[in-house]
Chain A
């Protein structure tokens, strides 16, 4: 098949770009609040240029071939930024899909006299742009996932409060995954609070930690040791049955660590150590 579309598009690049940018601006799905017009123009021009370069190879099927590297890279880049800017999937896909409309419009003008070529060229270009719009979706979803992961790691960082339960007793409920970064924050907060409050007991409650693997266990042991060096005792509470079992199967030795099943029993232990008694008031 001769490469009619490529020739037409090379000749009428300017018109395609103009129609395309107009189409995008008219589309109710395009958010002016999220992106400036000249930016849209620049992105469109960049993509169109490399697209026209790519189809010169007469390959309309395999978008993983080297000639499409640049095209897919630009599309991925644009989709990723749009995902992060808060565009919807539809707004993001519109970008590539409206290019299809513009190209078809120009082909119709150029191939008025030759309907059969027009139809076969439209089919080829449609399939190609459909696959490219799938690239948009794939990267868009990936972009969103990254946003979610970033947000959850932000939540992780802020949700490590150290609570002064009683004179001399601190509690630190941990919720979520304990990775290296976060443990560092937890440990620093805890040690700082021990100094500030002059506490002698700290309770690290891990009821909200989904899994304890060797890395998390090592972090916990380090925290306990550091607390000990500061002259305080660290108790680990909230060890759920399934966590207890996995710790045993893994073969982690927590023998040197004071552990309690619940926060309540850890508190009880801490009270007793400080010579405090919690008792029910006798009814007279």
Chain B
């Protein structure tokens, strides 16, 4: 996979979320992603960045334009040094929430993108990587 363009945005408040979403939309528009796929990507990203704020307090996102074989797309990495997730399989289930939310953020985000990977260590933090191809 070739990386064409990369940008890191720190996340520590709602304001950063607004900026992050704007930037992500700019990147997606720039590579000519369809409105449907843009909406899917931004919605998934929105869930993941919100999880950073809610569960870890702060973290970092990296937006990257990537290219592989004949495809171009956007890769986003969400990284935090928060509490981590003890049971990732459980967290990935529809309706599981440690709080009183819908518990759809992680599994929903996974359904909205082409690639989804989550790595989490208790006490160290969580890193989620997603890719949405332009198609």
Chain A interface residues toward B at CB < 8 A: 145-146, 149, 152-153, 177, 179-181, 210-215, 217-218, 241-243, 245-246, 249-252
Contact A177 B108 (CB under 8 A): no
Q: Name B36's contact: one of A153, A215, A241 (CB within 8 Å).
A: A241
Contact A250 B108 (CB under 8 A): yes
Q: Name B112's contact: one of A149, A153, A246 (CB within 8 Å).
A: A246
- Would you list which residues of chain B between 43 and 99 have a CB under 8 Å from chain A? 43, 46-47, 50, 94
Contact A210 B42 (CB under 8 A): yes
Q: Name B111's contact: one of A145, A242, A250 (CB within 8 Å).
A: A250
Given contacts A146-B15, A218-B101, A249-B108, contact A213 B40 (CB under 8 A): no
Given contacts A179-B14, A211-B42, A212-B43, contact A250 B19 (CB under 8 A): no
> For chain B, what secondary structure do more than half of its interface residues adopt (helix, strand, loop), or is it mixed?
helix
Contact A149 B105 (CB under 8 A): no
Q: A211-B21, A243-B39, A250-B47 are in contact. List 8 more A-B contacts (CB 8 A).
A: A146-B15, A149-B15, A153-B15, A177-B21, A213-B50, A242-B36, A246-B43, A250-B43
In the bound complex, residues from chain B placing their C-beta under 8 Å from that of A179 are: 14, 17-18
Contact B102 A249 (CB under 8 A): no
Measured between C-beta atoms, what is the minimum distance from B105 to chain A in Å? 6
Chain B interface residues toward A at CB < 8 A: 14-15, 17-19, 21, 25, 35-36, 38-40, 42-43, 46-47, 50, 94, 101-102, 104-105, 107-109, 111-112
- When C-beta atoms are compared, the residue in chain A nearest to B111 turns out to be A249
In the bound complex, residues from chain B placing their C-beta under 8 Å from that of A177 are: 18, 21
Can you identify 28 A-B contacts, CB atoms within 8 angstroms? Answer: A146-B15, A149-B18, A153-B18, A177-B21, A180-B14, A210-B25, A211-B46, A213-B47, A213-B105, A214-B47, A214-B102, A217-B102, A218-B101, A241-B36, A242-B35, A242-B36, A242-B39, A242-B40, A245-B39, A246-B39, A246-B40, A249-B111, A250-B109, A250-B111, A250-B112, A251-B108, A252-B102, A252-B104
Contact A149 B39 (CB under 8 A): no
In the bound complex, residues from chain B placing their C-beta under 8 Å from that of A242 are: 35-36, 38-40
In the bound complex, residues from chain A placing their C-beta under 8 Å from that of B15 are: 146, 149, 153
In the bound complex, residues from chain A placing their C-beta under 8 Å from that of B40 are: 242, 245-246, 249
Contact A214 B108 (CB under 8 A): yes
Closest 8 CB pairs of A and B: A250-B108, A242-B39, A213-B46, A242-B36, A249-B111, A246-B43, A211-B43, A251-B104
In the bound complex, residues from chain A placing their C-beta under 8 Å from that of B19 are: 145, 149
- Determine the distance from Cα of A241 to Cα of B25 in the docked complex, in whole angstroms: 18
Measured between C-beta atoms, what is the minimum distance from B42 to chain A in Å? 5
- Determine the distance from Cα of A250 to Cα of B102 in the docked complex, in whole angstroms: 10
In the bound complex, residues from chain A placing their C-beta under 8 Å from that of B104 are: 214, 250-252
Measured between C-beta atoms, what is the minimum distance from A79 to chain B in Å? 18
Contact B112 A249 (CB under 8 A): yes
- When C-beta atoms are compared, the residue in chain B nearest to A215 turns out to be B50
Measured between C-beta atoms, what is the minimum distance from B79 to chain A in Å? 20
Q: Name B18's contact: one of A152, A212, A214, A246 (CB within 8 Å).
A: A152
In the bound complex, residues from chain B placing their C-beta under 8 Å from that of A149 are: 15, 18-19
In the bound complex, residues from chain B placing their C-beta under 8 Å from that of A211 are: 21, 39, 42-43, 46
- Determine the distance from Cα of A249 to Cα of B109 in the docked complex, in whole angstroms: 8
In the bound complex, residues from chain B placing their C-beta under 8 Å from that of A146 are: 15
Contact A213 B14 (CB under 8 A): no
- Determine the distance from Cα of A149 to Cα of B23 in the docked complex, in whole angstroms: 12
Given contacts A177-B21, A242-B36, A245-B40, contact A214 B111 (CB under 8 A): no
In the bound complex, residues from chain A placing their C-beta under 8 Å from that of B108 are: 214, 249-252
Contact A218 B46 (CB under 8 A): no
- Determine the distance from Cα of A153 to Cα of B19 in the docked complex, in whole angstroms: 12
